[in-house]
Amino acid sequence: MTPEALSAALLTIVSPHLAGAEGVTITAADTVVERPRNRDHGDWASNIAMKLAKRLGRNPREFALELVPALEAVDGVASVEVAGPGFINIRLDTAAAGEIARSVVEAGDTYGHNSVLAGHVINMEFVSANPTGPLHIGHTRWAALGDSIARVLKASGAAVTTEYYINDAGSQMDVFGLSVLAAAKGEPTPEKGYPGPYIQTLAQRVLEAVPDLLDKPQDEAVALARDLAYEFQLAEIKQSLESFRVHFDVFFSEQTLHAPDAETGRTAIDDAEERLRAQGHVFEADDAVWVRTTDFGDDKDRVLTRGNGVVTYFAADAAYYLSKKDRGFAEKIYLLGADHHGYVGRLKALAAAAGDDPSVSLSVLIGQLVNLNGAKLSKRAGNIIELDDLLSWLGADALRYWLARYPADSPLSLDGEQLRSRSNDNPVFYVQYAHARTRSVARNAEAAGVTREAFEPGLLVHPTETALIGALQEFPRIVAHSAELREPHRVARYLEELAGHFHRWYDATRVLPFGDEEIAPVHGTRLWLNDATGQVIRNGLDLIGVSAPDRM
């Protein structure tokens, strides 16, 4: 019996007791059962009696005791006890609990998927690094976290579009072009320009594409150098992300917000100003155009257009937010770096000024910095540690796992040698080894003639089997919580706990017959449990973008 089935049974049992109670209704979300901290208290527990007692004018313990007979009659329930002020502790019979092994294997890659976010249409923007240089260690954490969050959201029923905002408008692009052109000419990097051998490489590629570049007028040469180098650098960024197993559905160019419409001559930024003005939040002062964001909790009003006619970054932010809204994204998640705390208030104010409820339409996650001991600065980029170098040194698995196993808001200091180690002290190795061990057991079972033809879950009575079964039952709940809280580290920590249960079970029991022992139903049944564990580890690792090797 799955916890979902038990929760549904509890809902059916409790609902008749609400008849005649005005305004008291419950759903399956109210009858979700939880795993007791102390397993001596049973397999599952519910506090539904205490939740409803006050609204029903009942004593919670007495109400809980009334529910016991019906719960005990549920197929698969071995016993029910009421503890303390009204906790209902439920113990399943061994066969009912063990059925989870078959459920997992039959569900395959979809086990753990749930529908808690069904109907949610989400745009998730993360990384969004300037296309003026390679991705570095700072971007690495946002890439791993953002992609993992998107995966758990999708597994929980949400329709998610991942998006990379390309900051390809503004003065930094001209400085980039000047830097590449200077390198092509063999001249020093211009003041406030972009240094590093990667600029030299881009300059060489531009010269190969336009051999007569240096013969062209300065303005034309700068534009060519800028546009071609931008194209080459963006392609490299995309390749780095794909190597890191991070896929974006949309790469959104900021230039499109500034580009005049062919018919009207108006830009998306012009339209954004008009729409905010129609909402009554735009005003003129000091020869500039402003949005009165202080009406919505911002620390100061924001300028859209300066007195000289130049639009601000906030104007582009406004047009971009409205673009997401117009594309049908009711919910928008922004994952921003540690230096972007000031953006939270202005983005929420912007959402409110656009007529949305920020508590529903907007979620801003601030990630903290990460450093990695032993990492070397890039020879190509000079003063940064490139993502490509980290992948060559550590591999995508170790890097993604370690970045996913901590909350986004915790500063992170990693030890490169620990990430590389092949020992049980390295969590990614520990979890991956558990998966590889399940595959080894399956191969050996096949060679010995043990199959999954027999399945008698009532035979799974060893304490390590009880613990392993309980952990498998928890996986859908872990995925759902990770999605609701935007915390994929819960999946990683769960996998470490599951791997521990599996390793202890492996040491204590046998799937294969011992010596001349005949193959018995218990061996086939344990093979189901072994394969179910491997499936859950595989599913969990996929949610954080980590591979599940068959051999190690």
pLDDT score recorded for residue 505: 98
The pTM for the full model equals 0.90
pLDDT score recorded for residue 114: 94
pLDDT score recorded for residue 28: 83
Reported as a single tens digit per residue, the pLDDT across 376-420 is: 766 566 667 899 999 999 999 999 999 999 998 888 888 999 999
pLDDT score recorded for residue 23: 78
pLDDT score recorded for residue 41: 82
Asked if residue 213 lies in contact with residue 206, where contact means CB atoms within 8 angstroms, the answer is yes
> How far, in Å, CA of 552 to CA of 548, rounded?
10
pLDDT score recorded for residue 48: 95
pLDDT score recorded for residue 228: 98
pLDDT score recorded for residue 381: 62
Q: Identify the H or E element spanning 276.
A: helix 268-278
> How far, in Å, CA of 93 to CA of 469, rounded?
12
Dihedral sign of CA atoms 98, 103, 108, 110 in order: negative
Reported as a single tens digit per residue, the pLDDT across 324-368 is: 999 999 999 999 987 788 889 999 999 999 999 999 999 999 888
Asked if residue 249 lies in contact with residue 329, where contact means CB atoms within 8 angstroms, the answer is no
> How far, in Å, CA of 433 to CA of 424, rounded?
9
Q: Identify the H or E element spanning 288.
A: strand 288-291
Residue ranges of the chain with per-residue pLDDT less than 70 = 377-383
pLDDT score recorded for residue 370: 84
pLDDT score recorded for residue 377: 61
Domains present along the chain, CATH in parentheses: 3-92 (3.30.1360.70), 171-234 (no CATH)
Dihedral sign of CA atoms 75, 76, 79, 80 in order: negative
